Amino acid sequence: MARRRRPPRAGAANELPPLRILGQIAALQSIYYAAALVLMLFTSLVAGTRFSLDLVFGWAELRGDTTQGWLLGFIWLCCAGAAVVAMVAFVGRSKLVLDFALTLHFIHLVIVTFYTGFLPRNVAWWVTAIISSVVTVVGGTYGCQWRELRPISFGGNAKNNNAEGGSAAAAQNGAVGSHGDEEMGFSRGRGRGRGRDGAGEYEMVGMNGDGNR
């Protein structure tokens, strides 16, 4: 007897094509490093220090006993914010944020290890990496949930469509009511009317209490 296959978990990464997953990871990693390069180059020019790729792919400068080390830690947290924006734009699913965020920082750890030849030994580097991972997961989850819960409108603004539809319906009802009143021999806002058979006009006058005109 053939066993029935269990359906995949909702929101799992295996629901996406492998090439699409690789493309999203490459896009996130590129934006992450592009933000780091721009911010570190800018701060180096402002501070008058020498810029080097060791600031991006190294771990020795990220330390807690120097001002530059604290500045590098803050820059990496800003890069985590850029990764959150990219994750909302390219991934857009809150259930996939954890996988992509951990993959992003794991790839960064591998690149740093191969670039320097050693695992990071500074505690400040690991603390920054953990905080950056938390920021990416929390921010990406919140942003993707906000995007998923946004109302979908078809054919323009729903409020304008409802207002226009209500105005058109009111105008149509008014026209029908006015036409119906004139067919029944009544004319709104006037004291004269035409009979339904078209025989002649008549005038509505007030009645006294005893029934005389």
Mean pLDDT of 185-196: 48
> Do residues 141 and 90 touch, judged by C-beta distance below 8 A?
no
CA–CA dist 207, 109 (Å, integer): 98
Per DSSP, the residues of 29-55 read: HHHHHHHHHHHHHHHHHHHTPPP-THH
Residue type, 5: R
Q: In this predicted structure, which of 74-83, 100-109, 183-192 has the lowest mean pLDDT?
A: 183-192
Q: Residue 189 above 70 pLDDT?
A: no
pLDDT tens for each residue of 99-129:
999 999 999 999 999 999 999 999 999 999 9
Q: What is the mean pLDDT of the chain?
A: 76
Segments making up each domain of the chain, as ranges: 16-148, 180-213
Residue 171 confidence (pLDDT)? 53
Q: How many Å from the N-terminal Cα to the C-terminal Cα in the chain?
A: 97
pLDDT tens for each residue of 38-49:
999 999 998 888
More confident residue, 137 or 152: 137
CA–CA dist 180, 176 (Å, integer): 6
Q: Residue 178 above 50 pLDDT?
A: no
CA–CA dist 87, 104 (Å, integer): 11
CA–CA dist 184, 48 (Å, integer): 91
Residue 184 confidence (pLDDT)? 47
Residues 6+ apart with CB under 8 A from 44: 50, 51, 55
Top-confidence range, 43-52, 156-165, 174-183: 43-52
Measure Cα distances from 56 to 3, 41, 130, 188 in Å.
Answer: 51, 10, 17, 81
